[in-house]
Structure 1
Amino acid sequence: MVKQSIFGRIAQLAKANINALIDSAEDPGLMLDQMVRDYTNSIAEAEGAVAQTIGNLRLLEQDHAEDVRNAGDWGNKALAASRKADELRAAGNTVDADKFDNLAKVALGRQLSAEKEARDAEPTIASQTAVVDQLKKGLDAMRGKLSQLSSKRDELIARSKTADAQRQVQDAVKSIDLLDPTSEISRFEDKIRRQEAVVMGQQELAASSLDAQFEQLDASDDEVELDARLAALKAGSPPPSAITSGA
């Protein structure tokens, strides 16, 4: 039962669709790590079971070869005993000839028994050979899957690191967008423009004040002129004229 479960696991793991398992996993990295451990442990366990199966097959093959050799040896002994019996019978010694014929029959019986054992073992050897071939292929497939798993795990780790780096860059870009240094410049520019506007207003006010002063100066000159003319009238003199007639 233990061997059957191991061999069934070999077949199951060898046929596993890694890409499908990765797609269905919540955390592919953890899943791949666990699969690598499972494959490694299963391969080690399967190697022991397969080695024992191969060892049993080799013992069967050795027993079969021994049965074949024994059948040949007993056949040779039967032939030698039969020839000896023929020689003794030709010499007129029928008693000893019969003994050697009986010995030849015993040897032939042993030969038949050895041949039967060899024939009986052949189907088992054939089926065990097929099982061993399948197990070897399964182990090779599992080793290939393990290599694929390790490569896939390394690839995912590299892709994960790349994705983290890209996410950090994107977060940095988003933070820059949120801060928006151009908006700070715009606010600073607006502040300067407001300061410039205040200066322009102050200059305009200063200019208006200067015009008013000149207007006041002109009004003061008119009052002086009026006072001068009024004084001239009172003195009986014609008022001075600011306009001179031409000759």
Structure 2
Amino acid sequence: MGIFSRMTDIINSNLNALLDSAEDPEKMIRLIIQEMEDTLVEVRSSSARVIADRRQAARRLEQVREEAANWEEKARLAISKGRDDLARAALQEKRELESDVRAVEEEMAATDEHVAHLNTEIAQLQQKLSDAKAKQKALVMRTATVESRIKVKRQVNREALDDAFDRFAQFERRMDNLESQLEVMDIGRDVSPGLAAEIDALQEDERINRELERLRAEVTGGQPEHGKQDQA
């Protein structure tokens, strides 16, 4: 089913209201333009047919007028010959033709009025079509602008996100450098595990020797050997 049902619907239509209420304004404007163009073709075809009928009526009117003039000349001739009866009959034919002339003239006047009305409708429809095409162009430009802005917005957001990741990566590298510097500063300060074990072993051996001397003294009832040596 078409958007418009009559010519007056198109002429009186509010394009802004139609587009505002449409779910897809771009699709709606395309349909409106298509229907307007189709209607314009139909109206112009109708106007062409009416103009062709008027031209035919004009030719018929000229022919009837010539026939009426011929009957008047025949009446003149009959009068000049003293044949009033024939003149009267010729004038009667002329009157009938003049009646046809008035009918054709009224038909042409109605045709002229119809053509004028169609021309007005064509002009109004053409203006509506121009408005619709202008709105379509504006919609296309607005759509392109919005899509471009969205693309730029997404690009900006992406760049901001990439920048944040770059800053985080720089921070990680900075922390890695600081930790590396700290490890370098600690090199040589800690005693190696092998050296510590040897020192611990020496201390343990010393404790064992002292314990051995104590036990020997208890068993022999004497003083530890190092004590005897001290007395001597």
> Could you tell me the TM-score, scaled by structure 2's length?
0.67
Distance (whole Å) between structure 1 residues aligned to residue 9 and residue 132 of structure 2: 12
Cα distance 1:83–1:99, how it changes in 2: closer, same or farther (>3 A)?
same
Gaps of 5+ in 2: 192-232
* Structure 1 residue 45: Cα displacement: 2.0
Q: Which of 60, 66, 82 pairs up with 1:92? A: 82
1:2 matches 2:5: yes
For residues 81-108 of structure 1, the C-alpha deviation after alignment (integer angstroms, 9 at most, x for no partner) is 0011111111111111111111111111
1:127 matches 2:117: yes
Kindly provide the amino acid, as one letter, of the partner of residue 3 in structure 1: R
1:112 matches 2:76: no
Once the two structures are superposed, the pairs formed by residues 192-231 of structure 1 within 5 Å of their partners are 192-193=181-182, 195-196=184-185, 199=188
Cα distance 1:144–1:189, how it changes in 2: closer, same or farther (>3 A)?
same
1:36 matches 2:26: yes
Alpha carbons 1:6, 1:45 under 8 Å: kept? no
Matched with 2:170 is 181
Once the two structures are superposed, the pairs formed by residues 127-166 of structure 1 within 5 Å of their partners are 127-166=117-156
Q: Which runs of 4+ in 1 moved over 3 A?
A: 15-18, 197-202
Gaps of 5+ in 1: 203-247
Matched with 1:101 is 91
Q: Which of 44, 56, 65 pairs up with 2:55? A: 65
Q: Decide which moves more: 158-167 or 78-87.
A: 158-167
Alpha carbons 1:82, 1:100 under 8 Å: kept? yes
Alpha carbons 2:65, 2:97 under 8 Å: kept? yes
Kindly provide the amino acid, as one letter, of the partner of residue 40 in structure 1: R
Alpha carbons 1:6, 1:49 under 8 Å: kept? no
Kindly provide the amino acid, as one letter, of the partner of residue 2 in structure 1: S
Cα distance 1:52–1:45, how it changes in 2: closer, same or farther (>3 A)?
same
Distance (whole Å) between structure 1 residues aligned to residue 150 and residue 58 of structure 2: 63
The percent identity for this pair of structures is 12
Kindly provide the amino acid, as one letter, of the partner of residue 72 in structure 1: E
RMSD between superposed Cα atoms in Å: 3.2
> Could you tell me the TM-score, scaled by structure 1's length?
0.63
* Structure 1 residue 199: Cα displacement: 4.9
1:55 matches 2:45: yes
Cα distance 1:16–1:105, how it changes in 2: closer, same or farther (>3 A)?
same
Kindly provide the amino acid, as one letter, of the partner of residue 74 in structure 2: K
Kindly provide the amino acid, as one letter, of the partner of residue 134 in structure 1: Q
